[in-house]
């Protein structure tokens, strides 16, 4: 199965017209499947809840998504923060759908300017006359298996886990890179717990292998724990795919529209692969920041981790900048 994960910022009504509602946590999922030439292709629309009250669900969705859809009914600071978040995540495939029933008129030219300033030059703008099947068709045309990603080390950030009677401990998360096969030996960080992938399930189907982009449920064997903390990361055993950092020296691309200047001593948060880590800035030199973390942040040993820096009291723009993969 080939799947494209799409970050969706919209009303619930808009989302329900795009796919079948799946699980609900701090993120809702809406799934649309289609068979073509004997193969199943899927669109997974991920809608963060509690935004703008909380920014973490939005950043968690952007850790997973490769495309974006924004339904806009007002141009305000929240819209600005959303497009900046997409821009910092380098999501080039995206669509803004203007709600013509909005209480206020929305100028497409103004939307275009904001998108361009946020680095989303390739995004397209439509009014609501864009049919749902047309939007899905645009997205389906972008689905494909990325061989480079499949050959990369296995990275699965865990967003939930639970015990199932007769099955045992099950961990669920999106395969960020690599692939996992039934009976693979795995390791879970930061606890360094080991185990075996006893069985795999993708979209309620038992599978032998889960690929990059899949949301997979992993029934674990020989895992000596009752629960796995959200933000833990599953890798292949002894892959050395991750390394902990108690202190980081980051060169930040500062976010558009951000007027806040970070200073030595400031408290910040880092978002990366569902981790949300507190840190304190210990030194600043231009756009280079040395940060001491309250607990180690686990990053990819190959240097491909993206770290988004936010400051929760920086209103209205909480995203300060991003340290992009080398």
pLDDT digits (tens, 9 = 90+) for 133-187: 899 999 998 876 444 456 789 999 999 999 888 888 999 999 999 999 999 999 9
Share of the chain above pLDDT 70, in %: 97
Query: Is the pLDDT at 14 greater than 60, yes or no?
Result: yes
C-alpha 161/C-alpha 98 separation (Å) is: 37
Side-chain half-sphere CA neighbours of 27 within 13 A: 26
Mean pLDDT, rounded, for 45-73 = 94
Give tens-digit pLDDT for 287-306.
899 999 999 999 999 888 99
Return the structure tokens found at 186. 């795995």
Domains and CATH numbers, the chain: 2-144 (3.40.50.300), 148-236 (2.40.30.10), 242-323 (2.40.30.10)
Burial class (CB in 10 A: 0-12, 13-18, 19+), 37: exposed
Query: Is the pLDDT at 317 greater than 60, yes or no?
Result: yes
How high is the pLDDT of residue 251?
94
Count Cβ atoms below 10 Å from residue 144 Cβ, excluding itself.
9
E strand or H helix at 81: helix 77-88
**Which whole-number Å values give the CA distances from 292 to 103, 176, 273, 283, in the listed order?**
46, 26, 19, 10
How high is the pLDDT of residue 226?
76
Average pLDDT score, the chain: 91
Which tops the pLDDT comparison, 23 or 265? 265
**89 falls in which pLDDT band (50, 70, 90)?**
very high
């Amino acid at each position: 199965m080939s799947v494209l994960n799409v970050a969706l910022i919209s009303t619930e009504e808009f989302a329900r017209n795009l796919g079948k509602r799946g699980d609900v946590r701090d993120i809702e999922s809406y799934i649309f499947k289609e068979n073509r030439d004997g193969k199943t292709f899927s669109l997974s629309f991920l809608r963060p809840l509690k935004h703008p009250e909380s920014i973490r669900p939005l950043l968690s969705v952007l850790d997973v998504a490769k495309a974006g859809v924004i339904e806009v009914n007002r141009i305000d600071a929240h819209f600005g923060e959303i497009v900046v978040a997409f821009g910092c995540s380098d999501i080039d495939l995206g669509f803004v759908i203007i709600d013509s029933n909005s209480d206020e008129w929305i100028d497409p030219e103004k939307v275009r300017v904001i998108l361009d300033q946020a680095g989303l030059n390739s995004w397209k703008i439509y009014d609501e006359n864009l049919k749902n099947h047309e939007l899905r068709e645009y997205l389906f045309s972008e689905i494909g298996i990325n061989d480079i990603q499949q050959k990369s080390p296995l990275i699965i950030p865990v967003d939930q886990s639970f015990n199932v009677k007769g099955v045992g401990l099950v961990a669920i998360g999106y395969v960020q890179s690599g692939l996992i096969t039934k009976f693979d030996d795995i390791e879970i960080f930061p606890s360094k717990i080991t185990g075996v992938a006893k069985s795999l399930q993708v979209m309620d189907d038992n599978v032998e292998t889960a690929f990059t982009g899949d949301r997979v449920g992993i029934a674990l064997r020989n895992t000596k724990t009752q629960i796995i903390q959200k933000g833990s990361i599953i890798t292949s055993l002894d892959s050395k795919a991750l390394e902990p950092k108690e202190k980081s020296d980051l060169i930040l691309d500062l976010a558009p529209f951000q007027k806040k200047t970070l200073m030595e001593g400031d408290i910040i948060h880092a978002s990366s692969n569902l981790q949300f880590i507190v840190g304190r800035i210990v030194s600043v030199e231009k756009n280079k920041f040395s940060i001491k973390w309250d607990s180690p942040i686990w990053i990819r040993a190959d240097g491909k981790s993206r770290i988004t820096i936010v400051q929760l009291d920086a209103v209205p723009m909480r995203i300060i900048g991003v340290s992009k993969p080398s």
